[in-house]
Structure 1
Amino acid sequence: MKFYEILEKHYDFIFPFQKSTYDFIRDGLNPQDKVLDVACGTGTYTIALRKEGILSCGLDLEESMIRIAEKKAEEQGIQGDFIVSNMLDMDLVHEGGLRRIFIIGNSLVHLNSMDQIKNFITTAYSLLHDEGDLMIQIINYDRILKENIDHLPTIHVPDIGLTFKRNYKYDAEAHLIDFSSQLSVHGETEEASVQLFPLKKEELVHLLMEVGFEEIHLYGSFKKEPYTESSTPLIVVAKKKLS
């Protein structure tokens, strides 16, 4: 089964709205600013931004996720703007002039090579207006590889009897991580797997600088705690320089 097929029915229970995440994404934006939420899932943060008059657009590869996002927006009386697209093709579906692009939820590392990640960053740079910024949140893979971590914390949602287990197996030869997941709801279990590219901090910073980003800031949480080697996530904000 495809990875996101097992998540779509319960996505908002597994990954609920987090105020600290929203405050981080929202920081510095003004009404009418154009924002692109890449790998938006069910559109939780796209919709929240829209409610504040920010012209947010959500993009996701999974058509089923976009259908849920559109339904959520309609139910909340919001005019949604959602696109089904591969993140590498975002320049084909968006005109640019963006104040911000954000890609969270460890989505960037679903691209399976350094070249693909560089292509994404290059395209993001071209779609941002001068002094726009790119926000990226991934797992801290420096920590994962150094400490040989083979799983992420299990997510429990007692209200609906849900358990979401996430296991990592590093393939050193391919330099990829086999990410296997097991979702159980009221005793019924489904499994899926996907490969991830374990992008390290210095690799990401180098790519951003190579493409032309500057004023690169690193954080260890959406509460803007400093990034350290022991941080669980790596969060990067990179600002486009004036042309």
Structure 2
Amino acid sequence: MTKNYETFARVYDAIMDDSLYDLWTDFSLRHFSKGKTKLLELACGTGIQSLRFAQAGFEVTGLDLSEEMLKVAEKRAQEAGVKIDFVAANMMDLSGIGQFDLVTSYSDSLCYLADEVEMGDTFTEVYKHLNDGGTFIFDVHSTYQTDEVFPGYSHHENAEDFAMVWDTYEDEAPHSIVHELTFFIQDEDGRFTRYDEIHEERTYELLTYDILLEQAGFTDVKVYADFEDKAPTDKSARWFFVARK
């Protein structure tokens, strides 16, 4: 792995609000099936949430499409002295991954799926690989967040060794957005390298998620909002689904 990518991953981690990981962990611990320990984290990225779960006593497997992100995650787990299995795979095909008591996907990772078909395929895969009595928890952007809050959003950040410009626009599909990110990261000889990224996200009405979960086999589904054990309102930013098998 290049030093550049490590730096890039560190910048990614730096722009994340660290307190969110505590909130995701606390929400999970409140809603996980009791006495269950074998956990699969979908779209684990650089492994911060996987590490939190492992430190809380779970037997964790972290899955992500990006092998580079997983290298950062592996290094993070090694430095913490914690054993976590990291797997490079697509969440729409979990064959060969094994069976789990608990499956999570946080930080609106499922919003990166292209459409309802991919969302439904992912739910079906999770259901197949979840043990009876197990729990699947995920969060997604609310339609209020994608339709009212994000369009026109702009965030600029300057630090000594990096700068970031983040702008968000409404996309063509209903409840979809595009994030345009530009990073300037300083390398070892003091020069700045530019990185450009496009992130496309999409969410759906609450009813759509309910139908897709039901089609996958889930019959016990609860919906909460913004890390609290309360029902969503019309201005909730983030929806949390707790589905039991």
TM-score by length of 2: 0.82
Aligned to 1:235: 240
Q: CA deviation at 1:161?
A: 5.8
Q: Which amino acid aligns with 2:40?
A: L
Q: Which amino acid aligns with 1:121?
A: F
Determine the C-alpha separation between the residues in 2 that align with 1:157 and 1:227. 35
Aligned partners of 1:59 and 1:84 also within 8 Å: yes
TM-score by length of 1: 0.82
Determine the C-alpha separation between the residues in 1 that align with 2:229 and 2:161. 31
Aligned partners of 2:36 and 2:102 also within 8 Å: no
Aligned partners of 1:32 and 1:53 also within 8 Å: no
Structure 2 vs 1, CA of residues 76 and 148 (structure 1 numbering), >3 Å: closer, same or farther? closer
Other structure's SS at 1:199 match: coil
Structure 2 vs 1, CA of residues 24 and 67 (structure 1 numbering), >3 Å: closer, same or farther? same
Q: Which amino acid aligns with 2:172?
A: D
Question: How many residues are matched?
Answer: 232
Q: Which amino acid aligns with 1:144?
A: T
Aligned to 1:35: 39
Q: CA deviation at 1:64?
A: 0.8
Structure 2 vs 1, CA of residues 76 and 202 (structure 1 numbering), >3 Å: closer, same or farther? same
1:142-177 per-residue CA deviation (whole Å, 9 max, x = no partner) reads 4423x38414563758686654524122214x8853
Aligned partners of 2:225 and 2:236 also within 8 Å: yes
78-87 vs 212-221, greater mean Cα deviation? 212-221
1:90-144 per-residue CA deviation (whole Å, 9 max, x = no partner) reads 2x23111x11111111111211121111010001011111121111111112442
Other structure's SS at 1:177 match: strand
Aligned partners of 1:29 and 1:54 also within 8 Å: no
Aligned partners of 2:180 and 2:198 also within 8 Å: yes
- Within 5 A, what are the aligned runs for 1:3-152? 8-15=9-16, 16=18, 18-27=21-30, 28=32, 33-90=37-94, 92-96=95-99, 98-145=100-147, 147=148, 149-152=150-153
Aligned to 1:197: 202
Structure 1: 5+ residue stretches without partners? none
1:59-97 per-residue CA deviation (whole Å, 9 max, x = no partner) reads 00001110011001110111121001111122x23111x
1:183-227 per-residue CA deviation (whole Å, 9 max, x = no partner) reads 355786532113333322221111112222123221221233431
Aligned partners of 2:180 and 2:196 also within 8 Å: yes
- Within 5 A, what are the aligned runs for 1:145-184? 145=147, 147=148, 149-152=150-153, 154=155, 162-163=163-164, 165-172=166-173, 176-184=176-184
2:222 is aligned with 1:217: yes
Structure 2: 5+ residue stretches without partners? 187-191
Aligned partners of 1:32 and 1:55 also within 8 Å: no
Determine the C-alpha separation between the residues in 2 that align with 1:100 and 1:152. 34
Cα RMSD (Å) of the superposition?
A: 2.8
Aligned partners of 1:156 and 1:163 also within 8 Å: yes
Identical counterparts, % of pairs: 23
Q: Which amino acid aligns with 1:124?
A: V
